[in-house]
Chain A
């Protein structure tokens, strides 16, 4: 097999989720080519990092001003041209990130092949040229095993980053680079106007090793912040929220943990005032150590928690912060 892995990047660094996708691609057991697409001022910095990635056999890169915003209608033709009628690549792999989720199905459909989303395991059988995946369905309440047979010449899949460790760098490595000519798109039907990213000094939710999450019991946006921020600061943790808390306006959309938000699997997950709806559990139940603080002893969150405390969160959380500081 020969996999093509999309290496997404931000501020000159390769996204950690793409490094997990690279690990998954290596598990196919063949060559792995990385692909870096971006604007001319983004790509050179990213290549400095990409060429040190141990698991790669080569890196393709394509730079053009029109690739700055990763509009699928503009990036897709580049990959269609690379992959149409090709006999080199057998798999196209990416993180299950918002931009890859928008892009990969578009390319797959153009090439008339299906795609497999959000896989948590992968293995390839060269004899039968078939790849077997497992992936959560029904918000993680069941796990499906799916086989892409040899009749699918190019197998597309996106990778749940929490299920694979990040591929390491090797300072001694120098992966060969190869330029890929951009495909100019002059009649794109979509124009990117702007991107607004939420600013935060805390670790990013998707990759943080510690997460403190709040639910509707936090009462309002002010008490959400006043209660959870000190705990997150004391632990160096990212802040997350249940859908109920986000819908009620206590926390930003980008902080939502669950089936339709972020899926996280940190070393430590502290659920504060979260009852534990199945959609929320789907987003955090693979965390290593789960702590739950809730007034209701029957809250479903306690069924998955390693350390449960039945208490009024407004009393307990400040005490925990105090004791952690001692």
Chain B
């Protein structure tokens, strides 16, 4: 009897370099953006996506044939790829943008990712896992747009991901308003990650050293035939109105008194 031909799993994880989540951001004096001369790190939701890909390999072993990470950004974005490689991804693709280029919009990013997937060839991308949103622009669109362009299944805000390689499906629990949903998606599929999917690991020193030898391919938007010029115009970026707080009371009685004054009796 001939062995059944099993197609193995190729995972692609798009990651974004963002201002670190712990940085208190400041709007620049020209009010055109924020001061970006601060610490950057991988978008936390994308870190969860990398972790999930690595965990899938830990569970499914050799059935996961490759984990590729991809990013769009200036030269420094390759650091973010190195972080992902140190966490356990095999190789990286860096779509390099000129320093100071305007940040691409989700539709542009999705087009570039589709081009990368097409270049990899048919059947070489079964599962795309990425963050549900980036913590800088908070748009939350890239995964859905990529799924649309690929004509693929999508599952957003995942809190549990189970892949059945033989049946070529992924079962995903997603977080929705007021609860959760369970979806069964045929591969290829795009899954976006929510906070509670997993807790990303810290890369060990040996793995950080090993990651330095892993391959990173550099391409330009022109190589991919995509135009990343934004379609929307950013007119201004401003500080939000400051809330004037700081009011204190000295006792429970005083607190309840103020509540009643404001019309909030029991």
Interface residues of A, Cβ cutoff 8 Å to B: 69, 71-73, 76, 97-99, 101-110, 112-118, 132, 136-149, 151-152, 189-198, 204, 206, 210, 234-235, 243, 246-247, 253-254, 259-260, 267-268, 278-279, 285, 289-291, 293, 302-311, 316, 319-320, 323-325
Q: Find chain A residues with CB under 8 A from B238 CB.
A: 142-143, 145
Give A151 to B232 CA distance when docked, in angstroms: 9
Give A145 to B171 CA distance when docked, in angstroms: 39
Task: Taking A139-B138, A194-B181 as given, write out 18 further A-B residue pairs in contact, using a Cβ cutoff of 8 Å, ordered by the A residue number.
Answer: A97-B177, A102-B144, A106-B145, A136-B240, A138-B135, A145-B237, A189-B152, A190-B184, A191-B183, A196-B180, A235-B264, A290-B243, A293-B255, A308-B245, A308-B249, A309-B251, A316-B255, A320-B256
Asked whether A142 and B27 contact (CB < 8 A) given A152-B232, A189-B153, A190-B153, the answer is: yes
Asked whether A117 and B141 contact (CB < 8 A) given A139-B135, A196-B179, the answer is: yes
Give A293 to B177 CA distance when docked, in angstroms: 28
Question: B128-161 interface mask toward A, CB cutoff 8 Å, 1 = contact, 0 = none?
Answer: 0000010111111110111111001111110100
Docked-complex contact A142 and B240, CB < 8 angstroms = yes
Q: Find chain A residues with CB under 8 A from B19 CB.
A: 138
Docked-complex contact B138 and A109, CB < 8 angstroms = no
Residue of A nearest to B137 (CB): A137
Q: Find chain B residues with CB under 8 A from A289 CB.
A: 262, 264
Return B8 CB to nearest CB of chain A, in Å: 20
Can you list 26 A-B pairs with a CB-CB distance of less than 8 A? A98-B175, A103-B144, A107-B148, A108-B145, A108-B148, A109-B148, A115-B107, A116-B232, A139-B135, A144-B234, A145-B237, A148-B231, A194-B181, A195-B176, A195-B180, A197-B179, A210-B264, A235-B264, A260-B133, A302-B245, A302-B248, A306-B245, A307-B255, A308-B245, A311-B252, A323-B253
- Which of B106, B144, B171, B251 is A72 in contact with, Cβ under 8 Å? B144
Q: Find chain A residues with CB under 8 A from B176 CB.
A: 98-99, 195
Docked-complex contact B34 and A197, CB < 8 angstroms = no
- Which of A190, A243, A293 is B155 in contact with, Cβ under 8 Å? A190
- Which of B138, B152, B177 is A136 in contact with, Cβ under 8 Å? B138
Q: Find chain A residues with CB under 8 A from B181 CB.
A: 69, 192-196
Docked-complex contact A323 and B141, CB < 8 angstroms = no
Docked-complex contact A324 and B265, CB < 8 angstroms = yes
Docked-complex contact B141 and A324, CB < 8 angstroms = no
Q: Which among B140, B181, B248 has the greatest number of chain A C-beta atoms within 10 A?
A: B181
Question: B161-203 interface mask toward A, CB cutoff 8 Å, 1 = contact, 0 = none?
Answer: 0000000000100011111111111100100001110000000
Docked-complex contact A307 and B107, CB < 8 angstroms = no
- Which of A103, A196, A235 is B266 in contact with, Cβ under 8 Å? A235
Chain B contact residues: over half helix, strand or loop, or mixed? Answer: mixed
Q: Find chain A residues with CB under 8 A from B142 CB.
A: 105
Residue of A nearest to B105 (CB): A114
- Which of B156, B235, B252 is A102 in contact with, Cβ under 8 Å? B156
Tell me the number of A-to-B contacts counted with CB atoms below 8 Å. 238
Give A151 to B34 CA distance when docked, in angstroms: 27
B110 CB–A CB distance under 8 Å: yes
Residue of B nearest to A112 (CB): B107
- Which of A137, A198, A290 is B178 in contact with, Cβ under 8 Å? A198
Docked-complex contact A253 and B159, CB < 8 angstroms = yes
Docked-complex contact B249 and A309, CB < 8 angstroms = yes
B25 CB–A CB distance under 8 Å: yes
B259 CB–A CB distance under 8 Å: yes
B223 CB–A CB distance under 8 Å: no
Residue of B nearest to A311 (CB): B252
Question: B205-243 interface mask toward A, CB cutoff 8 Å, 1 = contact, 0 = none?
Answer: 000000000000000000000000001111111111001
Asked whether A152 and B138 contact (CB < 8 A) given A190-B184, A247-B196, the answer is: no
Give A36 to B180 CA distance when docked, in angstroms: 23
Docked-complex contact B233 and A149, CB < 8 angstroms = yes
Question: B104-117 interface mask toward A, CB cutoff 8 Å, 1 = contact, 0 = none?
Answer: 01110010000000
Asked whether A302 and B107 contact (CB < 8 A) given A105-B141, A137-B138, A191-B183, the answer is: no
B2 CB–A CB distance under 8 Å: no
Q: Which among A105, A147, A247, A311 has the greatest number of chain B C-beta atoms within 10 A?
A: A105
Docked-complex contact B144 and A106, CB < 8 angstroms = yes
Q: Which among A97, A260, A278, A316 has the greatest number of chain B C-beta atoms within 10 A?
A: A260
